[in-house]
Amino acid sequence: MENQKKKSLKWLWIAIALVVVAGIGVWCGLNAKITDADKGTLNVFGLPALLTGLFIITALGYLLGRITVKGVNLGTAGVFLVAILFGYLCTLIPSDLPVLGSLHLSAGVGNTVYYKSVIQNVGLVLFVGSVGFIAGPKFFRDLKKNFKTYIFMGVVIIAIGAALAVVFTLVSPYGSDFWAGILSGSLTTTPGYSAAQEAMKAMGLSDTLVTIGHAIAYPFGVIGVVLFVQLLPRFVKADMNYERSLLKPEVLAATEKKEEKKLFVCDDFGFTPLALAIVSGLILGGIKIPLFSGVNFSLGTTGGVLIMCLVFGHFGRIGKLSLEIPAATVKTLKELGLMLFLIGAGVDGGVSLVSAIGNDGAIVAWGFVGGVAMTIVPMIVGFFLGKYVLKLPLLNNLGSITGGMTSTPALGTLISTAETDDVAGAYASTYPIALVLIVIACNLLVNLL
C-alpha cells in the first residue's frame, strides 16, 4: 500500500512538472505576439526576468531529475535538460523586441549572455572550489601513489577522442574547425573550445563552425557521461559498499597526528578561505603560457580554481589562520555550484542548438553522430584500460574517467552514485593533464588539417 502511494505521488509530481512546462510554452507563445507598446502586467523584464527564469529552471529541473526508471535518474543533470528547453524558448521571440523584454521570463536571446557569462561561471567556481577543498586533504598523497596511472588515463582518453575527430574530418564534408568544436563539446571543455577559436582567428578565418560544433556536441557530452557513471556500476553488478571501502583513506597512527594549536577562524561557514582560494585560482588561471602558432595556454577558470583549492584544502591553514571549511558548507556549495553551472550552460546551449539546426540540418546529424562517438568510445576504452591493465578499483576508475573527460556534471553525479566525496581525488588527479592535452589537440586539429 505504501509503495502504491509513493508511485502515485511520483506521477503526481511528473504531471505537475509537465503542466508547468506546457504553461511556460503557452505563455511564451502569447508573449511573442505582444508588441513593445502592449506590455502587460503578466510580463517580467530585466533582472526579475533573469531571476524568474533561474528559479523556474531549478524547480522543474530537480523534478525531472527525480524521475527514476529502473533505479536510474538524471539527478542534477535534469536541470541541464530543462535549461536547454528554456534556451530554446528564448528563440521564439522576434528579434525586434527589446533585449530585456524578450521572452519576458528568461530575459531573451540577447540576455542569455548573463546565463553563460555570469551564472555559469559563478556556478563553476563554486563547484570546482568545493571539489578542491573536498579532495585536497588526500589529493597529494593519492597523486604520489597513482601519478603515472592518472596521466596514462588522461592521455588515452584525449588521444582516442582526438583520433576520432581526425577520422570524421577525413570522411565528412566538414572541415577540422567544425570537428574541433565537436571534440571540445563532447568533452565539455571550454579551454579546448577557446583554443580552437584562437587558432582560427590566428589564421584570419571565421570560428563560426567551431561554435556550431561545440553547441551540437555539448548536450550529449553532459548527459552521456552522467548516464555512463550511473549505469556502468549496475552493468557490472558492483557491490558499492565494497567499492567505497577501497576509497577509504589510511588511518594515521596517533603518534603521526599533529597536535593542533588554536587557529583563528574568520567565519563559521568557511566563506573566507573559499574566497581567498577562488581569487588565487582566478589569478593563476589567467596566466597565459605561449605554445605555438600564436596560441597561448592557460589553466582557465576551472583549472586555476581547482588547483588552488586543492592546495588550500591540503594545507588547511596559513600560519594561525584556519583554511578549513565545514563539511555541511562545502556540500551545499558543491550542489549549488553544479546547479548554476548547468543552468548557464543549458540556456546558452539551447539557443546555440536552434541556431545550428536553422543553418544546416545535415551538419547537425554529422555532428551528433561524431559527438556521441567522441563521448562514448573514450569512456569505454578508458574503463577497460583502468580495470584490466591499470587494475584500478571501480570508483577510482570512474573518477579518473570523469576527469579525463573534463566533465564537471558527471563528477557531481558520480559523487551521488558512490555516496562518497572520496571519488573526487581521482577526478582532480586526471583533470589537469586532460585539460592541457585537449587544448593542444584542438589547436593541432585546426592547424594541421
The structure's pTM equals 0.71
Residue 139 has pLDDT above 50, yes or no: yes
Q: How confident is the model at residue 140 (pLDDT cuts 50, 70, 90)?
A: confident
Distances (CA, A) of 366 to 49, 112, 214: 36, 26, 13
pLDDT at 147: 75
Residue tagged 584556519 (cell numbers): 322
What would you report as the CA-atom Rg of the chain, rounded to the nearest whole angstrom? 22
- For the chain, the structural domain boundaries read 2-112, 130-245+291-300+310-323+351-448
Q: How confident is the model at residue 128 (pLDDT cuts 50, 70, 90)?
A: confident
Question: H or E stretch including 37?
Answer: none
Contacts of residue 9, Cβ cutoff 8 Å, sequence gap at least 6: none
CB of 81 closer than 8 Å to CB of 34: no
Instruction: Give the β-pairing of 317-318 and 295-297.
Output: unpaired
Task: Specify the range with the lowest mean pLDDT, choosing from 131-135, 152-156, 392-396.
Answer: 131-135
pLDDT at 35: 44
Does residue 351 or residue 124 have the better pLDDT? 124
CB of 213 closer than 8 Å to CB of 182: yes
pLDDT at 400: 92
pLDDT in tens, 231-289: 899 888 989 889 988 875 544 333 334 445 787 888 888 888 999 999 998 898 888 87
Reported residue count of the chain is 449
pLDDT in tens, 38-87: 444 334 456 677 777 788 888 888 888 887 777 677 777 788 888 888 87
**Percent of the chain clearing pLDDT 90 (strictly above):** 16
Does residue 155 or residue 287 have the better pLDDT? 155
Does residue 162 or residue 266 have the better pLDDT? 162
